[in-house]
């Protein structure tokens, strides 16, 4: 749809991005963009929203994390799921096997953070490979052996609760892998790749978006699609992707996947942070409407909101799990299965801090070196989590909260 070069008006989910679906030179000025009601955008009656690649990678990640508890699988099989090759029979779903996407290729692979830092990207991928290797080589062989300090095995939570399968340091590698993937894949790709100007404004993207030149065979411009891909890493598993907060906000809601959607829902359900899910969703909608309206300053303002708020989700959950573990350690009889489960989740969220994005500095809230320092404090001793103290967990919690606009008490409740 091509209309005059001053006012490009498009219908958005029944609400107008600017004023009305007409070519009217008296339309609302472009810097007054009305926030659309839902994430629905159309051109010539056809949806311009597309993020199928993100939905695929989320589904691959779900199945890979579940496979960490399948003791019949080999390291090679788990590696193949992580670094899927098109046509390989790695997954239970035929559509995933047929895909040319993989999880590993997009892990620590954002343009802003890693295009000029391949050494660090390689090291991060190697850490994910190492967690796979450790699960198969150390945890699987001791699946039915009681874990002790310095020896991998299983611990059952008090009262006949869940079994937790840990390595010699008390770390649940499946939890570390999953929560670290939230940072290294979903957060990094959304915040540091697709919402970045290096990707959004690459080559002739601005000119093409201004002139509504769409990708060949598609209904969307390249810039529109890149923004949608960031959206997909948060909401790509939703069964109502135009209104994904239906499964995130509200009592009993748990999100649509075990990654950003789930933990955004968890943070939203904490009364100290109620409203964060709406802030993120609204910023995604308004930023996309700004692209339609060719208002790139507004677009970038919304990207900064998303960066700040999704980074907060990572940090809040890191502190939450550290505080849960700390509280359990102070009980007269310590339930180590429950402690190690919480702290392993916390470990993964701390790891994910290196992929966050402070909009004021355009750098992570915690550098990789700082993250490594926190994890060494937590589990770097000979016996890892078996010897961590409540005092150390409190110190790390305070250090994390100090970089953000929340307190340890707010996040830990």
DSSP code string of 28-54: PPTT-PPPPSSS--EETTEE----HHH
- Structural domain boundaries of the chain? 134-402
29-48 pLDDT per residue, tens: 445 798 899 999 999 999 99
pLDDT above 90 (res 13): no
Rounded to an integer, the average pLDDT of 150-161 is 97
How high is the mean pLDDT of the chain?
93
Q: Is the pLDDT of residue 409 over 60?
A: yes
Q: Which residue has the tokens 């404004």?
A: 201
Under 8 Å between Cβ of 20 and 14: no
CA atoms of 113 and 195, how far apart (whole Å): 12
In this prediction, residue 35 carries a pLDDT of 87
**In the block, which residue shows the tokens 């699960």?**
135
Q: Which of 6-20, 46-60, 145-159, 293-307 has the lowest mean pLDDT?
A: 6-20
Residues near 150 by beta carbon (within 8 Å), at least 6 away in sequence? 168, 382, 383, 386
Question: Which helix (DSSP H) or strand (DSSP E) does residue 292 occupy?
Answer: helix 276-292
CB 183 within 8 A of CB 352: yes
CA distance 325 to 156: 16
Which pTM was predicted?
A: 0.93
Summarised one tens digit per residue, pLDDT across range 294-310 is: 999 999 999 999 999 99
Q: CA torsion sign, 300 to 306 to 307 to 309?
A: positive
Q: Are 47 and 219 in contact (CB under 8 A)?
A: yes
pLDDT tens-digit map of 65-119: 999 999 999 999 999 999 999 999 999 999 999 999 999 999 999 999 999 999 9
């Amino acid at each position: 749809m091509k209309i005059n070069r001053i006012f490009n008006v498009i219908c958005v989910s029944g609400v107008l991005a600017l004023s009305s679906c007409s070519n009217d030179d008296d339309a609302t000025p472009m810097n007054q963009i009305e926030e659309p009601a839902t994430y629905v955008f159309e051109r010539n009656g056809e949806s311009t929203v597309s993020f199928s690649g993100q939905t695929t990678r989320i589904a691959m990640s779900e199945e890979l994390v579940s496979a960490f508890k399948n003791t019949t699988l080999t390291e090679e099989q788990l590696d193949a799921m992580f670094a899927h090759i098109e046509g390989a029979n790695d997954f239970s779903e035929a559509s995933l096997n047929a895909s040319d996407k993989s999880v590993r290729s997009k892990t620590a692979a954002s343009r802003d953070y890693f295009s000029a830092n391949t050494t660090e990207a390689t090291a991060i991928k190697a850490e994910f490979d190492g967690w796979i290797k450790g699960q198969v080589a150390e945890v699987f062989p001791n699946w039915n052996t009681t874990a002790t300090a310095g020896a991998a095995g299983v611990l059952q939570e008090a009262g006949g609760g869940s079994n937790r399968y840990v390595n010699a340091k008390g770390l649940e590698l499946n939890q570390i892998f999953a929560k670290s993937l939230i940072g290294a894949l979903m957060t990094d790709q959304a915040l540091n790749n697709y919402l970045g100007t290096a990707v959004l404004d690459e080559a002739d993207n601005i000119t093409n978006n201004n002139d509504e030149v769409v990708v060949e065979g598609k209904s969307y411009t390249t810039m529109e699609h890149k923004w949608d891909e960031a959206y997909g890493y948060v909401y790509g598993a939703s069964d109502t992707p135009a209104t994904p907060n239906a499964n995130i906000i509200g009592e009993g809601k748990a999100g649509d996947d075990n990654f950003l959607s789930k933990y955004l829902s968890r943070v939203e359900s904490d009364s100290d942070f109620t409203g964060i899910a709406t802030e993120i969703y609204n910023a995604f909608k308004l930023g996309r409407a700004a692209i339609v309206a060719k208002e790139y300053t507004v677009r970038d303002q919304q990207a900064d909101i998303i960066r700040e708020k999704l980074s907060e989700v990572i940090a809040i959950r890191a502190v939450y799990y550290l505080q849960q573990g700390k509280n359990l350690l102070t009980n007269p009889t310590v339930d180590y299965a429950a402690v190690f489960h919480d702290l392993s989740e916390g470990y993964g969220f701390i790891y994910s801090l290196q992929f966050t994005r402070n909009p004021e500095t355009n750098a992570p809230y915690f550098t990789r070196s700082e993250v490594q320092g926190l994890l060494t404090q937590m589990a770097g001793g000979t016996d890892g989590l078996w010897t961590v103290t409540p005092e150390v967990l409190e110190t790390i919690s305070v250090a994390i909260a100090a970089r953000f606009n929340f307190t340890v008490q707010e996040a830990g409740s």
